[in-house]
Amino acid sequence: MWGGRFAAGPAAVMREINASLPFDKRLWKQDIMGSIAHAAMLASKGILSEADAATIIAGLEEIDDEYAAGDLPTDLSLEDIHMATESRLAEKIGPVAGRLHTARSRNDQVATDFKLWVRDAIDEVDLGLYRLQRALVNRAADYADAVMPGFTHLQSAQPVTLGHHLMAYHEMVGRDRSRFADARARMNLSPLGAAALAGTGFPTDRHMTAAALGFDGPTRNSLDSVSDRDFALDYLMAATQVALHLSRLAEEFIIWASQPFGFISLPDAYSTGSSIMPQKRNPDAAELVRGHSGRILGCMTALCVTMKGLPLAYSKDMQDDKPPVFEAHDLLGLSITAMTGMVETTTFRTDRMRALAESGFATATDLADWLVREANVPFREAHHITGRAVKAAEQKGCALADLPLAELKTIDGRIDERVYAVLTVDASVASRKSFGGTAPDQVRARIAEATAALDAETGR
C-alpha cells in the first residue's frame, strides 16, 4: 500500500507485530458497511462517478457474502481487515478499487468500524441484562414472603425475604443497563470523514455518511475523532461494573450452596463433580463468573494504560484497543447467560433459610423497637435491655421468642406478653413497611413496578 516510498519490504517480525488482522477481522461487517456508506457519499458529491461507485459497492457486497460464508482473510502482510478488504476488492474489480479510499484514512475508518461494533455489543449486553432482570423478578415473585436471614458483616442481622434479596440484584442490573444506555448515547457520533487527522479537502458530506450508519451526526473535531477511544473505555467500565455485580451474586450462590449454609442447591446443569470425591457437587459456573470478573477488570485496566500517555492524534498503540474489548465482551456474555440460567433454575431451600433466620436472634431489633414504642424507653436503653435478653437466650440455648415471660420481666419489668407478637420472623419482616423495606407488601409492590417496566420494553 505504501510501495512508492519504500524500497524494502518489512522484516518477518515486523509483519507479525504490525498485523491486527487476526483479531480485527471481527470488524468485517462494520468495515463493509462503512465503505459502502462512504462510496455512496463520494458519488452523491460527484467525487466519484456513479458508475465507479456502483462497481465498488457491488464488489463490496460480494465480499460481504464471502465473509459471511466464513471465508475471512488470513494474509498477515495485509495488516488489517481494512487493507485486506480493499485488496480483495482490487482482485475483483481492478484498479477502480483504488478510488474507494479517496477522502478517508484508515484512522477514521477504524474508529468508525470499532464504534459500530461497540454499539452492537452494547445492544447485545443490554438484551442479556434484560433477561437477567426478568429472571430475578420472576423468582422474586415466588419468594416475596419467604423469610431468610439478612446479613451485615455476614452475621445474621435482621430477617428479610428472599424476594427482597433477589430484587436488590434487579436494582443493580438496572443501574448497569442505564450506564450502557448513557455510553451508547454519548458515543453515537460518526468519526468517518475526519480522514487521517485534519479533515479533507474534498467536498464530502459527513452528515450523510453519519445518517447512513445510524449515527446522530458527525463528530465535531477531526483530531479527537481519530484519537478518541472513550467509547471503548465506556464500554469496558460499564462491563466491569456488571461483572462486579455478577461476581457478588456468584459469591452469594457459592456460599449459599455450601453445606453449612444449605440455602440453595444448584442444578446439575451448572455444577460439576469431583474425580476423586464422589459426594462433591461444585458450583463451578458461579466460580467462573466470579473469576471472569477479574479478567474483565483486567481488560479495562489494559486499555486505560494503553491510552493514558498517547499524544494526539492516532498512534499505533491504539491498534491494541480491540483485543481487550473483544475479550471482555465474550467473557461478559458467557457470565450473564450462565448467571441468568442459575437464577432461573436454582432450588431455594426456604425451610433452611427460615430455620437460620429464627436461630440467630435476628428479631433483637424488634424487641428494642417494641420497648421504644410500647414502653416509651429511650432507644439506647432499649438496646441495652435487649442485649441482656439475647445473652439470656444464648445461655439457655433458645430463641428470643422462647424465653418465658417471667424471665423477660426480670430483665425489664416493663416487658409484657404483647412482646411475643413482634418476636417472630414473620412479624419482623411484615413490620418493615417503609418504602423499599422488606415487608412482603412492599416487595410485591416493587416487583409489580419492575414487571410493568420490563413489559413496557418493546422489541424484546
Any catalytic annotation for residue 207?
no
The contacts of residue 311 (CB under 8 Å, 6+ apart) are none
C-beta of 308: minimal distance to ligand ARG in Å? 17
**Cα–Cα dist 375/313, whole Å:** 72
Nearest Cα neighbor of 171 from 137, 143, 139 is 137
- β-pairing, 347-348 vs 264-265, is antiparallel
Q: Is residue 314 near ligand ARG by the rule CB under 6 A?
A: yes
Q: Residues 31-50: x/- map of binding to ligand ARG (CB under 6 A)?
A: --------------------
67 with 32: CB under 8 angstroms? yes
- Whichever of 319 and 335 has its CB closer to ligand ARG, that residue is 319
**Cα–Cα dist 341/277, whole Å:** 26
- Whichever of 16 and 61 has its CB closer to ligand ARG, that residue is 16
- Whichever of 106 and 349 has its CB closer to ligand ARG, that residue is 106
Half-sphere CA count of 77, side-chain side, radius 13 A: 8
Q: Which residues pair with 150 in a beta bridge?
A: 158
C-alpha cell belonging to residue 205: 458530506
C-beta of 17: minimal distance to ligand ARG in Å? 12
Q: Tell me, by CB under 6 A, how many residues bind ligand ARG.
A: 11
- Whichever of 64 and 80 has its CB closer to ligand ARG, that residue is 80
420-459 positions binding ligand ARG, by CB under 6 A? none
Of 107, 133, 161, 190, the residue at the interface with ligand ARG (CB under 6 A) is 107
DSSP 286: H
- Whichever of 166 and 318 has its CB closer to ligand ARG, that residue is 318
C-beta of 190: minimal distance to ligand ARG in Å? 17
Name the catalytic one among 49, 258, 274, 359: 274
C-beta of 149: minimal distance to ligand ARG in Å? 53
**Binding segment toward ligand ARG, per CB under 6 A, in 129-137, 281-289, 316-324, 430-438:** 316-324
C-alpha cell belonging to residue 243: 461483572
**Cα–Cα dist 196/342, whole Å:** 48
**Binding segment toward ligand ARG, per CB under 6 A, in 8-16, 255-263, 315-323, 386-394:** 315-323
Q: Residues 74-103: x/- map of binding to ligand ARG (CB under 6 A)?
A: -----xx-----------------------
Distance of CA 215 to the CA centre of its chain: 23
354 with 148: CB under 8 angstroms? yes
Ramachandran assignment for 352, one of left (phi > 0), alpha (psi -120 to 50 degrees), beta (any other):
alpha
Q: Is residue 24 near ligand ARG by the rule CB under 6 A?
A: yes
What are the CA-CA distances from residue 57 to residues 53, 92, 96, 160, 249 (Å)? 6, 12, 11, 62, 49
- Whichever of 23 and 151 has its CB closer to ligand ARG, that residue is 23
**Cα–Cα dist 304/297, whole Å:** 11
C-beta of 232: minimal distance to ligand ARG in Å? 12
Any catalytic annotation for residue 245?
no
User: In angstroms, how far is the first alpha carbon of the chain from the final one?
Assistant: 45
Q: Is residue 318 near ligand ARG by the rule CB under 6 A?
A: yes
- Whichever of 106 and 119 has its CB closer to ligand ARG, that residue is 106
47 with 103: CB under 8 angstroms? yes
Q: Residues 1-20: x/- map of binding to ligand ARG (CB under 6 A)?
A: -------------------x
What single letter denotes the amino acid at residue 188? N
C-beta of 448: minimal distance to ligand ARG in Å? 49
Q: Which residues bind ligand ARG (CB under 6 A)?
A: 20, 24, 79-80, 106-107, 110, 314, 316, 318-319
- Residues with catalytic roles: 153, 274
